[in-house]
């Protein structure tokens, strides 16, 4: 496939990054994953806004504009569509750059390493109960750091939590902070539905401000009369939910059928999920 590296479109096999890159040595970088279907990106602008926000919080100066990113990402779709198909996500990673020595302090006068590539993703999710990709999850204490709002390439905390789920035969893990409140999953935001209320934890340093979460909140508030709130959610509320959804760029809205081997609600894909995925599919672009 063709990838983008530091201003050039090259073959993936020709893309080389120094082992002295701070992305490799320190996980000192920011990333994004932006989905597209049939050549159209979902949430492109908010994804780039979050990328710029993360980079600015890390004082990584890159000089790229929304127009630059649009050109890079569209070119990646054009270069790879024939080989990889029409459902592609673009991964963007910007690290602080490559230094001659390993030193924790930000080096002066290095330029960031900018890498992007396209990869095939599953077909566009559809509002059809029979076709929904469903998930079983476990729960656990959130042992990550206190800067979970930054989409950092330092993902070890998330990787270990995700693996915890895998080793217990689950697809994801719902994480709870020290006060017993839900934060998010290892790679997803979480929505909990009870008696018609659709709740998700409020934004803070404890979770990633997911773009699917953002789009879903906006769409539900604009195009439905469903009751949508951002508030703290306890473990007991999770276990007593009628429906639970996981959201992420690749999953859109994914119903959870079991938590710790206990069925969620009646153990089937829910009616509110169907309504929400219908609205999301109709208004996401
Ligand atoms: N994961 N929370 C975490 C910790 C995530 O890593 C992700 C995304 C999300 C959902 O965010 P969004 O709706 O913007 O995709 C929430 C990406 C896709 C990944 O790491 O592959």
200-210 tens-digit pLDDT: 999 999 999 99
Residue holding tokens 């934060």? 183
Same domain, 73 and 8: yes
Residue 261: how many CA atoms within 13 Å on its side-chain side?
Answer: 2
Which of the residues are catalytic? 151
Same domain, 115 and 134: no
Same domain, 113 and 227: no
Residue 205's closest CA among 260, 284, 149, 255? 149
pLDDT tens-digit map of 73-83: 999 999 999 99
Query: Could you tell which of 154, 219, 249, 254 is best to mutate to test the pocket of ligand 1, judged by most ligand atoms within 8 Å of the CB?
Result: 249
Q: Final residue of a domain: which of 70, 86, 120?
A: 120
Q: Are strands 113-120 and 227-230 parallel, antiparallel or unpaired?
A: unpaired
Same domain, 107 and 16: yes
Between the CA of 57 and the centroid of ligand 1 the distance, in Å, is: 18
* Mean local confidence (pLDDT), 109-123: 97
Closest residue by CA, ligand 1 atom 3 = 187
- Report d(CA 129, CA 112) in Å as an integer: 44
Confidence of residue 68 (pLDDT cuts 50, 70, 90): very high
Same domain, 67 and 102: yes
List alpha helices for the chain, DSSP H: 22-26, 44-57, 66-84, 156-167, 211-223, 235-239, 271-283
Nearest atom, ligand 1, residue 184 CA:
2
Average pLDDT, the chain: 98
pLDDT tens-digit map of 226-279: 999 999 999 999 999 999 999 999 999 999 999 999 999 999 999 999 999 999
Q: Final residue of a domain: which of 83, 98, 120?
A: 120
Query: 115: helix, coil or strand?
Result: strand
Q: Final residue of a domain: which of 64, 91, 120?
A: 120
Confidence of residue 72 (pLDDT cuts 50, 70, 90): very high
Same domain, 202 and 68: no
Same domain, 181 and 46: no
Same domain, 109 and 149: no
Query: Could you tell which of 48, 175, 188 is best to mutate to test the pocket of ligand 1, judged by most ligand atoms within 8 Å of the CB?
Result: 188
pLDDT tens-digit map of 129-143: 999 999 999 999 999
93 lines ligand 1 (CB under 6 A): no
- Report d(CA 105, CA 134) in Å as an integer: 44
- Report d(CA 87, CA 104) in Å as an integer: 39
* Mean local confidence (pLDDT), 115-140: 97
pTM value is: 0.97
248 lines ligand 1 (CB under 6 A): yes
- Report d(CA 62, CA 218) in Å as an integer: 30
Q: Are strands 135-141 and 172-176 parallel, antiparallel or unpaired?
A: parallel
Confidence of residue 223 (pLDDT cuts 50, 70, 90): very high
Q: Which residue range is the domain that position 230 belongs to?
A: 129-283
So what's the pLDDT on residue 33? 98
Backbone φ and ψ for 155, nearest 5 degrees, come out as -105, 15
210 lines ligand 1 (CB under 6 A): yes
- Report d(CA 121, CA 129) in Å as an integer: 20
Same domain, 133 and 30: no
Between the CA of 201 and the centroid of ligand 1 the distance, in Å, is: 15
188 lines ligand 1 (CB under 6 A): yes
Backbone φ and ψ for 70, nearest 5 degrees, come out as -60, -45
* Mean local confidence (pLDDT), 141-163: 98
C-alpha dihedral sign at 79, 80, 85, 87: negative
Same domain, 279 and 144: yes
Please measure the distance between the N-terminal and C-terminal CA atoms of the chain and give it in whole angstroms. Answer: 26
Instruction: Name the domain count of the chain.
Output: 2
- Long-range contacts at 177-183 (CB < 8 A, ≥ 24 apart): 177/142, 177/206, 178/141, 179/232, 180/234, 180/235, 181/232, 181/233, 181/234, 182/232, 182/233, 182/234, 182/235, 182/237, 182/238, 183/142, 183/148, 183/207
* Mean local confidence (pLDDT), 154-182: 98
Residue holding tokens 């990550």? 144
Between the CA of 49 and the centroid of ligand 1 the distance, in Å, is: 15
Same domain, 111 and 17: yes
């Amino acid at each position: 496939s063709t990838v983008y590296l530091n201003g050039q479109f090259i073959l993936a096999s020709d893309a080389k990054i120094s082992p002295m890159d701070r992305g490799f040595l320190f996980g000192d970088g920011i990333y994004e994953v932006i989905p597209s279907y049939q050549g159209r990106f979902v949430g492109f602008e908010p994804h780039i806004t979050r990328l710029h926000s993360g980079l600015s919080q890390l004082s990584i100066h890159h000089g790229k504009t929304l127009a630059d990113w649009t050109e890079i990402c569209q070119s990646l779709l054009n270069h790879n569509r024939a080989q990889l198909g029409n459902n592609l996500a673009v991964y963007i990673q910007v690290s602080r750059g490559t230094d001659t020595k390993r030193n924790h302090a930000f080096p002066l006068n290095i330029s960031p390493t900018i890498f992007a590539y396209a990869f095939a993703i599953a077909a566009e999710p559809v509002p059809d109960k029979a076709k929904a990709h469903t998930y079983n999850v476990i729960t656990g204490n959130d042992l990550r750091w206190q800067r979970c709002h930054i989409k950092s390439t330092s993902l070890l905390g998330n990787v270990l939590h995700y693996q915890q789920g895998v080793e217990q035969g689950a697809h994801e893990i719902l994480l709870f902070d020290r006060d017993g409140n839900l934060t998010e999953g290892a790679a997803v935001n979480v929505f909990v539905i009870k008696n018609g209320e659709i709740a998700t934890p409020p934004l803070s340093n404890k979770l990633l401000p997911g773009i699917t979460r953002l789009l879903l909140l906006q769409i539900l508030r604009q195009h439905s009369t469903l009751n949508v709130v951002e508030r703290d959610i306890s473990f007991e509320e999770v276990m007593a939910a009628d429906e639970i959804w996981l959201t992420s760029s690749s999953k859109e809205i994914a119903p959870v059928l079991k938590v710790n081997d206990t069925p969620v609600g009646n153990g089937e894909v829910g009616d509110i999920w169907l309504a929400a995925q219908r609205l999301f599919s109709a208004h996401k672009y």
